[in-house]
Amino acid sequence: MTFPLPRLPRNPGRRRLLQQTGVLAAGLTFLPRKSLSAEEKRLNFYNWDTYIGENTLSDFNEATGIEVRMDLFADNDELFAKFKAGNPGYDVIVPTNDYVERMILADMLMPLDHDKLPNMSNIAPSFIEKATFDPGRRFSLPYMWGTIGVGYRKSEVPDGVDSWGALLQDERFSQRVAMLGAAQYVIGAALKYLGHSFNATDPAQIKAAEELLIASKPRIRVFADDNGQDLLAAGEVDLAQEWNGDMLQVMAEDDDLTYVVPKEGSMLWEDCLAIPRGAPHPENAHAFINFLFEPKIGADLAAAIQYGTPNAAAKALMPESYTRNPAIFPSEAVLERCELATYLGEEATRVRDEAWTRIQAA
């Protein structure tokens, strides 16, 4: 059974920064007014591009009068680099789970006060219990989650796709393939195809993935920074390694496009809300995070962003076209073959980066 997707305005990719800008709005808090009296009514939010609901900040404004400035970052490396020399003035940030772990180790995040976050009760328990990168959710709460898989044009791939091998080794699609432009995701896919962990740190396994990718490179048209979904929509490629939410956006406009997680499995990711150390407005930060877990607010976010919401109360408000769409919520069988990205450590990251340099140069 298939479920039609709502027709959505076309947004750029989740991982692609289009501009640096400030967005002014205002806010709500569920904390007593007295607790906020010592803070000015401001909040500085550092977020991914197109990663907020159309009215989220204005709704927050209407409830409290806390003014929010939202700046945008392009990727986790940029986010991490921004805080290496100290907090430049942000109150809430949105790192991905492996970078949450890395930022905890670097003492960049402030512990959350769960007493100030009563709407945590709306989060599905598994997101609290299985957060191995942040046990007990001491430093972060889940914002959105999803997978990396393969988007493809059904009319050009009539037999469908069930393996990463379609991108890496199938001669029929030579020069009709786009893959993501980052070592972690491309090498990770090759590792899964070879039967290894997406998070493998064994140099021999990484070398095997490197050799596979170098051999596959003549068949790959482009390693796309994050516009594989656009190339697919434009007919420039027939298969693309992509984020599920980015694919859902183009699928909403073109019924010939679809998305699948390969049988070997893939990477799970979870973007998180966190308060960096040195936040100038920590009370407002807690209020804002709590606000985002209101059921109606969470549902509006999910409808706008089209990734999986960890907010069970929000999910209950969503239509079946969202809650039963396997591109958003894969089956348990698919999820069992996937792995949450982990922080690999400096040495393993260096080995992968060096392999990626050789792949790019080949």
Residue 32 pLDDT > 80? no
Do 169 and 295 belong together in one domain?
A: no
Do 184 and 237 belong together in one domain?
A: yes
Residue 177 pLDDT > 50? yes
Name the most confidently modeled range: 12-21, 48-57, 198-207, 219-228.
198-207
Q: What is the CATH number of the domain that holds 274?
A: 3.40.190.10
- pTM given for the model: 0.84
Does 7 reside within a domain? no
**Could you list the residue range(s) of the whole structural domain that residue 124 is in?**
23-145+269-323
State the amino acid at position 103 in one-letter form. M
User: Which is nearest to 3 in space by CA: 327, 302, 287?
Assistant: 327
Alpha helices by DSSP H, listed for the chain, are: 33-36, 56-64, 76-83, 97-105, 125-129, 165-168, 183-193, 203-216, 228-233, 244-251, 282-292, 295-305, 312-315, 320-323, 332-336, 346-361
Does 10 reside within a domain? no
How much of the chain, in percent, has pLDDT values that exceed 70?
90
Per-residue model confidence (pLDDT) at position 23: 40
Per-residue model confidence (pLDDT) at position 74: 85
Tokens of 164: 């990463």
Do 246 and 152 belong together in one domain?
A: yes
Number of domains in the chain: 2
| pLDDT single digits (tens) 263-313 | 999 999 999 999 999 999 999 999 999 999 999 999 999 999 889 999 999
Per-residue model confidence (pLDDT) at position 75: 86
The backbone torsions φ and ψ at residue 333, rounded to the nearest 5 degrees and listed phi first, read -65, -40
What residues have CB less than 8 Å from 147, skipping those under 6 apart? Answer: 243, 244, 261, 266, 267, 268, 269, 330, 338
Would you place residue 13 in the very low, low, confident or very high pLDDT band (cuts 50, 70, 90)?
A: low
Do 164 and 209 belong together in one domain?
A: yes
Average pLDDT over residues 331-339: 94
Do 207 and 98 belong together in one domain?
A: no
Does 304 reside within a domain? yes
Q: Is 225 exposed, middle or buried (0-12, 13-18, 19+ CB in 10 A)?
A: middle
| Cβ(56)–Cβ(101) below 8 Å | no
Q: Are strands 339-340 and 267-273 parallel, antiparallel or unpaired?
A: parallel
Does 86 reside within a domain? yes
DSSP class per residue in 111-124: PP-GGG-GGGGGB-
Do 64 and 93 belong together in one domain?
A: yes
Do 40 and 159 belong together in one domain?
A: no
Would you place residue 118 in the very low, low, confident or very high pLDDT band (cuts 50, 70, 90)?
A: very high
Do 137 and 262 belong together in one domain?
A: no
Would you place residue 137 in the very low, low, confident or very high pLDDT band (cuts 50, 70, 90)?
A: very high
Per-residue model confidence (pLDDT) at position 133: 96
- What is the sign of the dihedral through the CA atoms of 273, 268, 203 and 78? negative
Would you place residue 224 in the very low, low, confident or very high pLDDT band (cuts 50, 70, 90)?
A: confident
Does 2 reside within a domain? no
User: Which is nearest to 4 in space by CA: 309, 252, 315?
Assistant: 252
Do 92 and 164 belong together in one domain?
A: no
For residues 243 and 228, what is the distance between their CA atoms, to the nearest angstrom? 9
- 350 vs 7, more confident: 350
Per-residue model confidence (pLDDT) at position 170: 96
Do 229 and 293 belong together in one domain?
A: no
For residues 326 and 320, what is the distance between their CA atoms, to the nearest angstrom? 11
Does 13 reside within a domain? no
Does 9 reside within a domain? no
Do 237 and 216 belong together in one domain?
A: yes
Does 4 reside within a domain? no
| Cβ(343)–Cβ(108) below 8 Å | no
The backbone torsions φ and ψ at residue 52, rounded to the nearest 5 degrees and listed phi first, read -155, 155
Do 30 and 116 belong together in one domain?
A: yes
